[in-house]
Structure 1
Amino acid sequence: MNFFQSLAAVLTPTGLLWTVIILGIATFLHELAHYALARWQGVPVKSFSVGMGPVLLSRLWKGTEWRISALPLGGYVEIDGMAPVPGADGQMHAPTSGYAGLPSLGKIAVILAGPLMNLALALGLMTLLFTNQGLPVPNRVRIEEVVANSTAQNIGLRNGDVITAIDGQDIPQLITVNGKQLPGWQSVPEILKKNGPHTFTLQRSGVPGPVQVVFDWTPSVGGKKQLLGIRYSPDVQKVGAAQAFGASVSNTVQAVPQVLSAFGNLFKRFLTLDLSQDQGVSGPIGTAEIVSRAAALGPWALVEIAIMLNLSLAFFNLIPIPGLDGGRILLTLIGAIKGSPLSFAQENAINFAGFAFVMMLMLFVILRDASRFF
Structure 2
Amino acid sequence: MSILQSIGAALTPVGLLWTLLIIGVATFLHELAHYALAKRQGVPVKSFSVGMGPVLLRRAWRGTEWRISLLPIGGYVEIEGMAPEEGPGGTYRQPTRGFAALPAWGKVAVLLAGPLMNLVLAIGLMTANFSAQGIPALDRVRIESVREGSRAQSLGLRPGDVVTALNGRDIAETITVSGQTRPGWESLRDLLTTPGRKTLTVERGGAAQEVTFDWRPRVNGARQLLGIGYGPDVQPASVPTAFVTSLQTTAEAVPQILRAFGNLFARFFTLDLSRDENVTGPIGTAEVVSQAARVSPWALVQVAILLNLSLAFFNLIPIPGLDGGRIMLVLVGALRGRPLSLAQEQVINVAGFALVMLLMVFVVVRDVSRFF
TM-score (norm: length of structure 1) = 0.98
Q: Cα deviations across residues 92-114 of structure 1 (Å, max 9, x unaligned)?
A: 11111010111100000000000
Alignment partner, residue 256 of structure 1: 254
Q: Cα deviations across residues 65-93 of structure 1 (Å, max 9, x unaligned)?
A: 00011111200000011111210131111
Alignment partner, residue 25 of structure 2: 25
- Report the Cα offset of residue 355 of structure 1: 0.3
- Report the Cα offset of residue 358 of structure 1: 0.1
- Report the Cα offset of residue 244 of structure 1: 0.7
Q: Aligned AA for 1:135? A: I
SS of 2:230's equivalent?
strand
Q: Aligned AA for 1:142? A: R
Alignment partner, residue 191 of structure 1: 191
Moved more, 192-201 or 292-301: 192-201
Q: Cα deviations across residues 39-58 of structure 1 (Å, max 9, x unaligned)?
A: 00000000000011111111
Alignment partners' CA distance in 2, 1:233 and 1:261: 25
Alignment partner, residue 219 of structure 1: 217
Q: Cα deviations across residues 220-269 of structure 1 (Å, max 9, x unaligned)?
A: 11222211111111001111111111111111111111101111111111
Alignment partners' CA distance in 1, 2:46 and 2:263: 38
Q: Aligned AA for 1:61? A: W
Moved more, 163-172 or 13-22: 163-172
Alignment partner, residue 360 of structure 1: 358
Alignment partners' CA distance in 2, 1:90 and 1:223: 77
Contiguous gaps of at least 5 residues in structure 2: none
Where do 1:65-104 residues align within 5 Å? 65-104=65-104
Alignment partner, residue 154 of structure 1: 154
Contiguous gaps of at least 5 residues in structure 1: none
Alignment partner, residue 58 of structure 1: 58
Alignment partners' CA distance in 2, 1:171 and 1:287: 33
Alignment partners' CA distance in 1, 2:172 and 2:315: 37
Alignment partners' CA distance in 2, 1:73 and 1:202: 49
Alignment partner, residue 275 of structure 1: 273
CA-based RMSD? 0.9
- Report the Cα offset of residue 331 of structure 1: 0.4
SS of 1:279's equivalent?
coil
Alignment partner, residue 241 of structure 1: 239
Moved more, 169-178 or 187-196: 169-178
1:10 aligned onto 2:34: no
Q: Cα deviations across residues 309-367 of structure 1 (Å, max 9, x unaligned)?
A: 00000000000000100000000000001111111110110011000000000011001
1:298 aligns with one of 274, 288, 296 = 296
Alignment partner, residue 136 of structure 1: 136
Alignment partners' CA distance in 1, 2:26 and 2:223: 43
Alignment partner, residue 203 of structure 2: 203
- Report the Cα offset of residue 165 of structure 1: 1.3
1:286 aligned onto 2:300: no
Give me the identity figure in percent: 64
Alignment partner, residue 49 of structure 1: 49
Alignment partner, residue 340 of structure 2: 342
Q: Aligned AA for 2:134? A: G
Q: Aligned AA for 1:369? A: D
Alignment partners' CA distance in 1, 2:240 and 2:248: 12
Alignment partners' CA distance in 1, 2:154 and 2:309: 43
Alignment partners' CA distance in 2, 1:55 and 1:103: 33
Alignment partner, residue 371 of structure 2: 373
SS of 1:69's equivalent?
strand
Alignment partners' CA distance in 2, 1:137 and 1:298: 20
SS of 2:57's equivalent?
strand
Moved more, 130-139 or 174-183: 174-183
TM-score (norm: length of structure 2) = 0.98
Moved more, 113-122 or 153-162: 153-162
Alignment partners' CA distance in 1, 2:328 and 2:41: 21
